[in-house]
Amino acid sequence: MTSSSQDKTPLLEIDRLSVDYGLKGVSLRAIDGVSFALRAGEAVGLVGESGSGKTTTAMAIAGLLSPNARVSGGQVRYRGNRLPIDDDAAMRPHRWSETSVVFQGAMNALNPVHRIIKQIAEPCMLKLGMSRGEATKRGSELLQLVGIPADRGSAYPHELSGGMRQRVMIAMALACRPSIIIGDEPTTALDVITQAQILNLLGDLRSQLSLALILITHDLSVVAKCCDRVMIMYAGRIVEDGTVAEIFAQPKHPYTRQLIESIPNPASGKKMIRPIPGDPPNLVNRPSGCAFHPRCPSVMGGCATEVPSLNKFGRGRVACHLHRSLTQEDKVAVHA
């Protein structure tokens, strides 16, 4: 999809990316042929249970795969150039300058023995070549930007509340003016009110600094608050992709539907939330065909044998045999 205009080139393209983990000679596929594109300033949510591959996808984009991980197929392109995501040293210039990460549970993500200002200023010194004084000044500005008084910079991480630490993480992520921020469950350990504040902050900063945001979460309601688009992952594959409005109004994949039904929603008046029956998929013994078929209420012939491909459907994409026929009809309609 080479395009003439600058605007149409996506900021980030993930192209049929597969990552395997090696484990005592056995290798298991954490993500399998994941493809999507991210435009500058866009906010995308990656949603799934643990083991769905959402974190592996994010870490691959950031070039932070662990040593026992192997890129077994596909590529990641940033501004049209292929990223050397399986080469630790070659990825170093890209990290934090272009893509930074807000990790979950900022307690351990911050080094407990260094003052927070030092941790925020560190990448400014090492990556932007600022002097200690300049870097500290920038650190103070960033703290104020995320709503922390600059004089708190001399605090150690354990002296701050969970929400404050998460703000520090965000300030740190902004240090080198990246174009993409990956939020890895950035609000998971927080109470609801703090969660809302952090999400608002992320949203504000995104529009203020025109950042692209990739939000990794197991919680669809978080995505609903601050993303334009959402991708649902299951057992290492994207099963549905669409705008937030579409997905909530008309979920197409049975798994997406169940995810939405499992959100507790006091406004809707429904007392019972419906948990998804069955166990999350076991990646070592991945179910044949569509990995969701053992838990799927709409399972039918072919689901257990044939892997559904991720096809365009309306303005989004879906990988489900229920909708395969429809897409073919669509094509027929288009040709006709």
Partner 1 sequence: MNGGGGSRHILRIIVRASITLLMVAVLNFILFRVIPGDPASLLLGGARVSVTAEQIEAQNQRWGLDRPLFPDQAVDYLSATLRGDFGYSFKFRGRHVADLIAERLPDTIVLVGVAQIMAIVIGVMLGIYAGWRRGGAGDRIATGASLALYSTPAFWLGMILVVIFSTALGWLPGYGAYSPGLITGSLGSFLDYLQHLTLPATAVALGLIGQYVVVARAAMSDVLTEDYMVTARAKGLTNGQMLMRHAFRNAMLPVVTLITLNIGYVVAGAITVEAVFAWPGIGGLTVEALNARDYPVLQGIFLLLGVSIVLANLVADLAYSLLDPRVRQ
Partner 2 sequence: MSDNIVRYCPRGRARAIKGFLRQFLSYGGAQVGLVCLVFFLVVGAVPNILAGPLQTAINATGDFLAPPSGEHLLGTDEIGRDVLNLVLHGARISLTIALLATVISLVVGTTIGTTAGYYGGRVDVWLMRLTDFFFVMPSFVLALVITPVVLEVMGRGGEILGFRPSLFVIIVVIGMTSWSFVARIVRSQTLSLKERPFIDRARVAGSSNFGIMVRHILPNLVPQIAANGALVVASAIYVETSLSFLGLGDPLQPSWGTLLSLAQRAGAASAGAWWYLGAPGLCVLTVSLSFVLIGSALDDTFNPRRRVIP
Footprint on this chain of partner 2 (rule: CB under 8 A): 21, 23, 30, 55-56, 59, 66, 68
96 binds partner 1 (CB under 8 A): yes
Each residue of 52-91: b (16+ CB within 10 Å) or e? bbbbbbbbbbbbbbeeebebeebebbbeeeebbbbeeeeb
Distance of closest approach, residue 93 Cβ to partner 2, in angstroms: 23
Partner from partner 1, partner 2, none binding residue 55, C-beta < 5-8 Å depending on class: partner 2
Which residues, numbered 117-156, are part of the site for partner 1 (CB under 8 A)?
122-123, 126-127, 155-156
> Residue 23 CB, nearest distance to partner 1 (Å)?
14
Least distance from partner 2 to the Cβ atom of residue 51, Å: 8
Total interface residues for partner 1 by CB under 8 A = 28
Does residue 108 belong to the site contacting partner 1 (CB under 8 A)? Answer: yes
CB of 4 to partner 1, least distance (A): 33
188 binds partner 1 (CB under 8 A): no
Q: Shortest approach of partner 2 to residue 107 CB, angstroms?
A: 17
23 binds, among partner 1, partner 2, none (CB under 5 to 8 A by kind): partner 2
> Among partner 2, partner 1, none, what does residue 110 contact (CB within 5–8 Å per kind)?
partner 1
Which of residues 60, 85, 109, 117 is near partner 1 by CB under 8 A?
A: 109
Q: Could you say which of partner 1, partner 2, none residue 100 binds, taking C-beta under 5 to 8 angstroms by partner kind?
A: partner 1
218: Cα within 13 Å, side-chain hemisphere? 11
DSSP lists the bridge partners of residue 247 as none
Kindly tell me which of 112 and 301 has the beta carbon lying closer to partner 1.
112
Q: Does 112 bind partner 1 (CB under 8 A)?
A: yes
Sequence-separated (6 or more) residues with CB below 8 Å from residue 318: 239, 240, 241, 242, 252, 253, 310, 311
How many C-beta neighbours within 10 Å does residue 124 have? 24
**Beta carbon of residue 46, minimum distance to partner 1 (angstroms, whole number):** 17
94 binds partner 1 (CB under 8 A): yes
Part in contact with partner 1 (CB under 8 A); list of ranges 32-40, 99-107, 234-242, 288-296: 99-107
The sign one gets for the Cα dihedral 95, 100, 102, 106 is positive
Which own/partner pairs from 128-132 qualify as long-range (CB within 8 Å, at least 24 positions apart)? 128/176
Report the C-alpha gap between 142 and 78 in whole angstroms.
26
Choose among partner 2, partner 1, none what residue 123 binds, the Cβ cut-off being 5 to 8 Å by kind.
partner 1
Q: Residue 66 Cβ, how far from partner 2 at the closest point, in Å?
A: 6
How far is residue 215's CA from residue 15's CA, in Å, rounded to a whole number?
19
Q: How far is the CB of 55 from partner 2 (least distance, A)?
A: 7
- Cβ neighbours of residue 3 under 8 Å, at least 6 residues apart? 9
78 binds partner 1 (CB under 8 A): no
Residues near partner 1, by CB under 8 A: 62, 64, 89, 92-97, 100-101, 103, 105, 108-113, 122-123, 126-127, 155-156, 158-159, 172
